[in-house]
Structure 1
Amino acid sequence: MKPNGEPFGITTCSAGKNELIVGNNGEVYPCPSYMNENFSMGNLLNFKKISDMLKADTNDYVCEHVGKIHPANLEECLNCNVKLFCWTCPGEFRDIKTKKAFQKRCAITKPMLQERVWESKIMY
């Protein structure tokens, strides 16, 4: 655990922190996977400086929401010993619509990660 209580992770998401996407109408989003009105961080046309927009309260909400979609927080992944290596993008998890699709992804990804991370194979 980090000193602030957050789990360490290998995920590479920097949405809303080191990465921003600007739509053709000036709306700013944390990343391409979150390019919809629910995740707008503001509109560049309403601010004189981008730094002013980034200080807006809504940005904390957006970044917090994206950060919550983390393998350490997913019920389906709580007991998985490779969960911190699995999801590099929160948008991937959000885009999986069914339990069957999730299980299929897990069945493909988990054995590969198990072998690479722990140098052992999963026996089902």
Structure 2
Amino acid sequence: MARKGECIFQCRLPFTPGYEFVGEVVDHHADPAPPWLVAGARVAACLTRMGGYREYANLPVRLLAPVPDGLDTLAAAALPLDYLTALSLLTATAEPALATPCSSTARPAAWATRCANSALTGA
């Protein structure tokens, strides 16, 4: 919808759509920096505002999650917001135990949970 200009929120020009992204760390100034935050590392984020489709972003480390080796970039880009939506639905309407990742998807789900929690709490 946002790409068609049919968005409900944040449609002031200039407008850059996209709540999530996967990218490569170019440089960082985090001090102290987590061990995974190095130039060339793949990271993902679920942003609190649109802007994920831009070429470069300057974001706080707390919004980033390292993308595990072997996880496809397209899948990694889709996971944070889709998972956040599903997790929000489960935690708002279901038993808490249902929001716990099942064993068959534990690695991607754990990673997506980290992305989702960063977006929800800013931590």
TM normalised by structure 2 equals 0.31
Larger radius of gyration: 1
| Higher strand proportion | 2
| Higher helix proportion | 1
Which structure is higher in RCO with an 8 Å CA cutoff and minimum separation 6?
2
